Structure 1
Amino acid sequence: MCRVHSAAKHAEYSTQSAKVDSIAGQANNPPGKQRRVMSIAVLSDMDLGARRASAVSLTKQLVARLADIGVDAKIFGSLSSGKFNAQSDIDLLVTECPRHLKYKIEGLVEDGLPGFRFDVVYLDEIPAHRRHRFLETVTDAGDLR
């Protein structure tokens, strides 16, 4: 799933989405299904570690592929801050992108991050007075651990 918006809006959306998913799971599913939905939401530490490792590996590969076509992307959000969890998505800040590729790279991102939700934010579309907030928190994909 791809969304293009600010990190603040993303945090608000994630919180609301988790609440809606939880309520929907309780109201609309038979008991067996409800338990399954709940068990997916609570990953064990090992599963979460494997999910994070997969996110890091796929993100590094994706950013390298994007660099090969002239796109510079940095990572922000929970993956870069070490707060990645079961509901986290992968947040990319595109700092440089050839004009003819703008908005077309989202298909590459979707293909490069199978099984993960993601956000793509373009630096040149962030109001100047807010850019520093993004630039202070970004991480190069090569620095992800």
Structure 2
Amino acid sequence: MRILNFEDDVYKANDIKKALDDRCGVTDVTQVDNVEEGLELLIQEKEAGNPFDLIITDMHYPMRKGEEGDFDAGEKLLGILKERGIDTKVIICSSLNIKIREAYGCIWYSRISDWEMELLELMNQLKK
């Protein structure tokens, strides 16, 4: 399974990558820190015949390299994917405890939540 992780916080990106490796056995994780770069990579890999199977995204990060973080970037990403007909499943992994209907799943990334177990459960559902 190939995963594209939209995350601008290096520590959180590493936590997600470690959880995917340790708990889910997924090692092919690519991290991007803005929407523009991630969309380019998503389309490029699909056209090359090597598409990503899943997107994991935060909610707050830049739309473009060098810009300030956008509090709605994750929701905007979902809209762009729908608009462009990209049907890759999306898991939201955010420090905001939110639910977004258009996402495959929403994980509350917090020290007081068992976010790693939630990620494992969603990954197991995807593999079925």
Give 1 or 2: higher strand fraction: 2
Structure with the higher helix share, 1 or 2: 1
Whose RCO is larger (CA < 8 A, sep 6+)?
1
Q: Which has more radius of gyration? A: 1
What TM-score, normalized by structure 2, do the two folds share?
A: 0.31
What TM-score do the two structures reach when normalised by structure 1? 0.29
